[in-house]
Amino acid sequence: MSDLDLCFMPAHEALARSQAKTLSPVGLVEAVIARAAAAPGGWFTDPASRPMV
């Protein structure tokens, strides 16, 4: 399964696969973070667009 497939997987499917031990929750989070970091103008690359916490 590609990282792109993981990023667009519905939450209920990710939960089912995680419970069946066919999907690593860590792998899923790493794929989503990598996609967000690679996005142009994303909040990972532009400190001015980061939300205030």
* Residue 38 confidence (pLDDT): 79
Confirm if 41 and 49 have CB atoms less than 8 A apart: yes
Cα–chain center distance at 40: 16
- Per residue in 1-53, pLDDT (tens digit) is 788 888 899 999 999 999 999 999 999 999 988 888 777 765 555 666 666 65
Q: Tally the domains of the chain.
A: 1
| Alpha-carbon span 46 to 40, nearest angstrom | 9
0.75 cut: is pTM over it?
A: no
Q: Can you give 6-52 as a three-state secondary structure string?
A: HHCCCHHHHHHHHHCCCCCHHHHHHHHHHHHHHCCCCCCCCHHHCCC
**What range defines the domain where residue 27 resides?**
3-45
Residue 51 domain-assigned? no
Residue 22 domain-assigned? yes
Residue 41 domain-assigned? yes
Residue 53 domain-assigned? no
| Alpha-carbon span 44 to 1, nearest angstrom | 25
